[in-house]
Amino acid sequence: MDTNTPIRDIPDYGIRLDKNGRFWHKGAPVTNPKVHELFSRSLKRLDNGTYTLCIGPDSCIIEIEDTPYVVRRLNVTKAGGDGPLTVMIELSDGTKEELDPATLSISRDNVLYCEVKGGEHSARFDRPPYMALAEYVVQTGRGFALQIGDKLFKIRERD
């Protein structure tokens, strides 16, 4: 699908992605794990910021409650004993990538976010990876920062 497709030409079938990364169809949860996996891998953003599900030649509008992706898992590794820390995240679509700590932000409700997929999308941290990352968070004079080795990455406030 062309990302310039006029929104009026894309059907809306009542599909929604909630803040916890669960899909819903017309108010009912999507419970089939295979359908959930397919939907997770089929998210596309149009140039106007609207998200769609694109499956083959078909697409439909999807309502995103918070972010299109959720950080489900986190793995912190240390290269060669005392080497630098690497923080890998697994997203709700099953992809894995290295966390860009410079993109971390926190909401007024203490929800942690980061930018993913090359900075193209936001992701909300699920509780377990949030708690795992909190082990590396330090308080600074004016907030909090993620400490990776001797580097501090400020966790900015999210709008």
Write out pLDDT tens, residues 12-35: 899 999 999 999 999 999 999 999
54, 63, 55, 56: which is closest to 26 by C-alpha? Answer: 63
In this predicted model, which residue has the larger pLDDT, 9 or 42?
A: 42
Phi/psi at 37 (5° precision): -65, -45
- CA of 137: how far to CAs of 91, 124, 126, 132, 154, in Å? 21, 17, 16, 10, 9
pTM for this structure?
0.88
Reply yes or no on whether the pLDDT at 83 is more than 80. Answer: no
Name the one residue in this structure whose structure tokens are 């909630």. 18
What count of Cα atoms within 13 Å lies in the side-chain half-sphere of residue 24?
A: 13
Reply yes or no on whether the pLDDT at 117 is more than 70. Answer: yes
Q: Which CATH class is domain 7-64?
A: alpha beta
pLDDT band at 77 (very low <50, low <70, confident <90, very high): confident
